[in-house]
Structure 1
């Protein structure tokens, strides 16, 4: 990954933010072992599973190990985005296609009164969170700077080895960051510069897509850091 001084353009703050998060994440992931990587702190976690042992309906991956994934839905923290899409004139059918849910589900969300109810989402392991980021950033690179043909869900051969995962993961992350550093001001404003499937990236200027990518990286790394803290203290916590 290239390093550089502060940039005065609009891309500069996003790169600086990502670089700082990348540096902190590298420190926090030092020493990650296989047992901790696959640790399930509560029952019914989502994680990596051998293909024949997966129980979630949409578990995916090209090899022996697949990543848990449940039925498609729109998380509560995205209800406001769905409302913005509808207010902007997007048809309910198109919104449903973007989120891979039914038209009825979109209509239900748009009709939801008051604050959204909390999501009943499962706890995910460190392995799941790293794998999620890995395939998302691999796909983001392929469908922005690559040939835009590979299915992101088939691009990453998931592994139960923490060391091998991190080796492959940082290679993908740093390639993505170096490519982003070359994006022009015009490309930042281009709607559809990213065509990442399973998302609505193609509907937004690329600067918005990059902002969301930084948020995705930061919040999942914060979750991983907390899981590492819990793993370290699991035998010292009071009963």
Structure 2
């Protein structure tokens, strides 16, 4: 039986996990067509839309096509994270700034007891999920390994063409992976090594940021895979 080399150091485990997830995702995305990419399985979906046709208040993008984005809030599945931020010494004002909500909203979340109500979030298209990953990884790279100057929401020119979206997406994902693979142990433990503004990255050791990026990639790719299954069975 062939022996498989498995890294057991902390960065190696995360890199191997990311590599496997990327390999599986590329296979699952093979043959994605434009109609499927933009398919809205239910009314009220979030997607990418022409500028001026967006259905959400904070849709963004630098070009003709923008990515739907709703009003800022703290989703119920992040209540525990807000509690951790507060327990770690982060001020109410800083938490509110991180989540782009009012201080009153943060206080409401911290005062909540019992199980939170499920979020009433929009269903999103494959185009939305892929674009969401694209701009986040573009921003993560820019504000960790780049010049840390460019606005993350202006880094990706969204497209209604599935093949073009993937053509742009994979090199950016590989750039992130290669850069992460070159960090030192000291950098992994450095709080603020990443300064990505749309997250708590500036307040975390970089190893936590890498872990979070893996989670983001894996869970959105799993959602895309399910949407592809539903498209075929529609």
Return the TM-score normalized by structure 1: 0.95
Corresponding residue for 1:37? Answer: 37
Task: Map 1:164-203; keep pairs closer than 5 Å.
Answer: 164-203=164-203
Give yes or no for contact 1:100–1:198 (8 Å, CA) kept in 2.
no
- CA apart distance, 1:229: 0.1
Q: Distance in 1 between matches of 2:47 and 2:65?
A: 10
Distance 1:39 1:166 in 2: 16
Is 2:14 aligned against 1:25? no
1:160 corresponds in structure 2 to 160
- 2:206 is equivalent to residue 209 of structure 1: no
1:160 match: secondary structure = coil
Structure 1: unaligned runs, 5 residues or longer: 235-239
Q: Match for residue 112 of structure 2? A: 112
**Residues 1-239 of structure 1 correspond to what in structure 2 (within 5 A)?**
6-234=6-234
Q: Deviations over 1:58-113 (max 9, x none)?
A: 00000000000000011111100111111122111111011111001101101111
2:52 alignment partner, SS class: helix
Distance apart, 1:8 and its partner CA = 4.2
Bigger drift between 212-221 and 78-87 goes to 78-87
Q: Distance in 1 between matches of 2:192 and 2:7?
A: 25
C-alpha separation in 2, matches of 1:208 and 1:200: 10
Q: Within 2, Cα distance between the matches of 1:122 and 1:215? A: 20
Name the Cα RMSD after superposition. Answer: 0.8
- Cα distance in 2 for partners of 1:10, 1:214 equals 13
Q: Could you tell me how far apart the structure 2 residues matched to 1:88 and 1:208 are?
A: 15
SS of residue paired to 1:117 = coil
Tell me by how many angstroms 1:38 deviates. 0.1
Query: Could you say what secondary structure the match of 1:52 adopts?
Result: coil
- CA distance in 1 between partners of 2:38 and 2:108 (Å): 36
How many residue pairs are counted as aligned between the two chains?
Answer: 230
Conserved in 2, the CA contact under 8 Å of 1:86 and 1:92?
A: yes
Unaligned runs of 5+ in 2: none
SS of the aligned residue for 1:66 comes to: strand
